[in-house]
Amino acid sequence: MIGILGAGQLGRMLALAGIPLGEQFRFLDPDTNAPARQLGTQIQGAFDDDDSLQRLAAGCSVVTYEFENVPVAAAERLAATIPVYPPPAALRASQDRVDEKTFLNKQGIRTAPWVAVNSQADLVAAIAAIGAPGVLKTRRMGYDGKGQMVLRSVTEVEQAWKKLGGQPLIYEGFVSFDRELSCIGVRDRMGNVACYPLIENWHHEGILRLSIAPGPNWNDHLQQQAVANAKQVMATLDYVGVLTIEYFQCGKELVCNEMAPRVHNSGHWSIEGAVCSQFENHVRAITGLPLGATTVNGAAAMLNLIGDFPDLRRVLNTPGVHLHHYGKEPRPGRKIGHLTVVAPDHATLTARITELRQVTGLDKLPSWPM
Ligand code: AMP
């Protein structure tokens, strides 16, 4: 039995990958309608409730988590009696953007220049030190572009403070990147590491819309940098499981944006697009099984379904398309599923995605990377 903190779509897809390996799942989540509830038993409770945590762990061989805002203290308490993978130290390093960037820089990994901001005067000083434009972000709990604002000049300080002030913040230099990439790696209990090819990601309004693997114009030099960084971070944390590191590509350099100690939205294509998916590899890693191959079968992409479902008959009429429904009620801005598109090569993949854009309404977005 595997215990998972969180029963969202990531927990659901972990269970869908782990059940064929003979595993059973128990989830802890306060949500009454959690997407993973059909795939195991769910304990409905808070992540910091000791009794719920004990009930989650009872009889499990290992506990993992599907989101990085699990209270570190709760993960540490569990780790005293049962293996918790990835280790709680990975949560500690990734929950707060200042801790995260401090950790990454210490590993020799380049990030945007940054300064911690606790007052309006700090923000003025940060802009003087780093320059504008820059991005002001909350240190904790930001996701999908929430809790952040781009500042074009020091004249916008008051407006930014009104929006985000009163909580610990970070100001980062604006990176004018060529594209966004992510590296998904996995480390087993013996210390073996495997990484998927770099994935190109395209966001709109802060939300991931499209991932392509391998990223077009895939590049050995960038892949080597990304793999070296992943190995370094995972060795330092004595990591077990899947780790995602997100980057901006600036010419031949990778500038790290953030890391997530978990399976990631930009790796969902791997369910049908890779020899062994990120979900199966995470389950294999944490249960002490050998890792599966991270090779892509041809080329693959992932399109997020956000807000509402398109005409699924038309979607599934496109060759190479697979639907993943998360069992959630449609609601504006909500990730309710995704499509994987597989193809023998990038040209065929592009043609299939172009066809899908019209069917899914994504052709209405103002820009598109391909
Ligand atoms: P985050 O919440 O840090 O993942 O940021 C969400 C998105 O905002 C990223 O995927 C980028 O598209 C953009 N972004 C974040 N930080 C920066 C930055 N320092 N420079 C340029 N764009 C950024």
From first to last of its 370 residues, the chain has per-residue pLDDT tens of 999 999 999 999 999 999 999 999 999 999 999 999 999 999 999 999 999 999 999 999 999 999 988 999 999 999 999 999 999 999 999 999 999 999 999 999 999 999 999 999 999 999 999 999 999 999 998 776 788 999 999 999 999 999 999 999 999 999 999 999 999 999 999 999 999 999 999 998 888 999 999 988 878 999 999 999 999 999 999 999 999 999 999 999 999 999 999 999 999 999 999 999 999 999 999 999 999 999 999 999 999 999 999 999 999 999 999 999 999 999 998 999 999 999 999 999 999 999 999 888 888 777 777 7
Ligand 1 atom closest to Cα of residue 147: 2
User: How many angstroms separate the alpha carbon of residue 163 from the centre of ligand 1?
Assistant: 17
Rounded to 5 degrees, φ, ψ at 181 are: -130, 155
The superfamily CATH assigns to domain 179-364 is ATP-grasp fold, B domain (3.30.470.20)
Do 52 and 30 meet the contact criterion of CB atoms below 8 Å apart?
Answer: no
- Given this model, what pLDDT does residue 223 score? 97
Task: List the chain domain ranges.
Answer: 2-84, 113-173, 179-364
The superfamily CATH assigns to domain 113-173 is ATP-grasp fold, A domain (3.30.1490.20)
Residue in 169, 189, 177, 180 with CA at minimum distance from that of residue 285? 189
Residue 160 and residue 300: Cα distance in Å, rounded? Answer: 39
Do 84 and 309 meet the contact criterion of CB atoms below 8 Å apart?
Answer: no
158 CB-near residues (< 8 Å, 6+ apart): 120
Residue 60 and residue 322: Cα distance in Å, rounded? Answer: 32
User: How many angstroms separate the alpha carbon of residue 257 from the centre of ligand 1?
Assistant: 7
Ligand 1 atom closest to Cα of residue 176: 21
Residue 177 and residue 186: Cα distance in Å, rounded? Answer: 26
Do 210 and 202 meet the contact criterion of CB atoms below 8 Å apart?
Answer: yes
pTM attached to this predicted model: 0.96
Does ligand 1 have an atom closer than 6 angstroms to the CB of 361?
A: no
Q: What is the fold of 2-84?
A: Rossmann fold (3.40.50)
Does ligand 1 have an atom closer than 6 angstroms to the CB of 180?
A: yes
Residue 28: C-alpha distances to residues 6, 14, 47, 187, 262 (Å) = 6, 14, 7, 24, 16
User: How many angstroms separate the alpha carbon of residue 86 from the centre of ligand 1?
Assistant: 25
DSSP state of 174: P
Residue 52 and residue 338: Cα distance in Å, rounded? Answer: 31
Rounded to 5 degrees, φ, ψ at 206 are: 80, -5
54 CB-near residues (< 8 Å, 6+ apart): none
Residue to mutate (ligand 1; options 257, 259, 265; most atoms within 8 A of CB): 257
Does ligand 1 have an atom closer than 6 angstroms to the CB of 172?
A: yes
Residue in 335, 180, 193, 186 with CA at minimum distance from that of residue 246? 180
Do 173 and 130 meet the contact criterion of CB atoms below 8 Å apart?
Answer: yes
Does ligand 1 have an atom closer than 6 angstroms to the CB of 145?
A: yes
Ligand 1 atom closest to Cα of residue 246: 4
User: How many angstroms separate the alpha carbon of residue 306 from the centre of ligand 1?
Assistant: 20
Does ligand 1 have an atom closer than 6 angstroms to the CB of 175?
A: yes
Rounded to 5 degrees, φ, ψ at 304 are: -75, 140
SS3 220: helix
- Given this model, what pLDDT does residue 301 score? 98
